[in-house]
Amino acid sequence: MQGRRIVLGVSGGVAAYKSAELVRLLVKAGAQVDVVLTAGGARFVTAVTFQALSGRPVWTDLWDARANNNMAHIDLTRGADAVLIAPASADLMARLANGQCDDLLTTLCLARDCPLLVAPAMNRQMWQHPATQRNIGLLITDGAEILGPASGEQACGEVGEGRMLEPEDLFEALLDCFAPKLLVGKRVVLTAGPTQEAVDPVRVLTNLSSGKMGYALAKALHRAGAEVTMVSGPVSLAVPRGVNCVQIKSAREMYEAVMQHIGHAQIFVAVAAVADFRPEQAAEHKIKKADGTPEIQLVPNPDILSDVASLPNAPFCVGFAAESRDLESYAQKKRASKRIPLIVGNLVQNALGADDNQVILFDDAGAHALEHGSKELVAQGIVEHLAKLLA
């Protein structure tokens, strides 16, 4: 987002208070934000608020003499990376869909040469009305991207679809908009998180995987234009926007979910920390201490990555090797034994449960170390390397 120029349109709606937080996020990330406030938007949040947060003048009037030749509707979008309208009221979308130019915001939307993103916000019945849906269809046909809306409790006290997306979601949508689409048209199945193998109704065998690397990679793959299905073990993470998530617990459930979705995938990424073994038989009732030390017989779980790599017309398979020592040796052995073209190796003491990571990519050309950084930045590096191998 560093150095990006964003024009943020704010129309009438109580969700305008969220737009103030969005401006803060964008400026903090290094973007320049020009806020265009409609008369309705100014009823909810003042221009003073947006000027304080953006550090720039706020625009409200089509005839504002501050712009060159009095043409703010031209100057504001020249060189801008995107126009985002948040919130977008039903009235504003109706005017946009029909090409009306009766204020600064609607006029600059017609005069722009950059992407237009629209985040609707309104009562559930207004959103569901055929006229609104018809206008949404026209905007999509004209090339606008519609973000949301979300479903939940509304300012009117009703519950349903129509809430504007949260500022963090809109920030991510802008990042998606700017990201190079390296994997457009690719379908990806990805596994993430730990698995849990039942010992009895309340106890499980599991591991310390947080799922952060898998979720970061799912987000990066989606951002690169791929259609992503993520099969996830139990984690405390929000599913990335645009990613289809299948929630599972055990390794066998993960195996079944992967095999159900792998048929049309071109890429399989096995990030999950899958338990190698499970109790042969889970106890029907909670094991009691008074009954003495239990004897638990372990049996192997299915090897998901090996079985996918062995499929006829197998997808391009990416494995992960989390080791505590001799990383290159173990990672290369794992890549050879599973017959996969790419494996991502890291030392668990550097990454397990942490927000950052340092990995080495191993493929037919050798070892490729990525710089240490946040798991999101590491995920971006993995996706870029993957795209080169597929090119």
In eight-state DSSP terms, residue 264 is: G
Write the single-letter amino acid at 78.
R
Considering all CA atoms of the chain, what is the largest pairwise distance in Å, rounded to the nearest integer?
Answer: 88
Structure tokens belonging to residue 9: 């349109």
C-alpha–C-alpha distance, residues 32 and 317, integer Å: 40
Structure tokens belonging to residue 26: 């964008």
Radius of gyration in angstroms for the set of CA atoms belonging to the chain, rounded to a whole number: 25
C-alpha–C-alpha distance, residues 213 and 198, integer Å: 24
**CA dihedral in degrees (231, 236, 239, 240; nearest 10)?**
-110
Q: Which of 114, 156, 177, 245 is catalytic?
A: 156
C-alpha–C-alpha distance, residues 245 and 222, integer Å: 12
C-alpha–C-alpha distance, residues 364 and 348, integer Å: 24
Which residue from 32, 116, 112 is spatially nearest to 72, judged by alpha carbons?
112
If DSSP codes are grouped into helix, strand and coil, which group holds residue 23? helix
C-alpha–C-alpha distance, residues 230 and 217, integer Å: 10
Structure tokens belonging to residue 169: 């979601």
Beta bridge partner(s), residue 298: 279
Which residue from 67, 137, 64, 77 is spatially nearest to 110, judged by alpha carbons?
77
Beta bridge partner(s), residue 84: 8, 117
Q: Sign of the CA dihedral 335, 300, 215, 179?
A: positive
C-alpha–C-alpha distance, residues 93 and 106, integer Å: 9
| CB neighbourhood size of 269 (10 A) | 30
DSSP, residue by residue, 182-200 = TTTT-EEEEEESB--EESS
**156 is a catalytic site residue:** yes
- Helix or strand run (H / E) with residue 319: strand 316-323
Which of the residues are catalytic?
A: 156
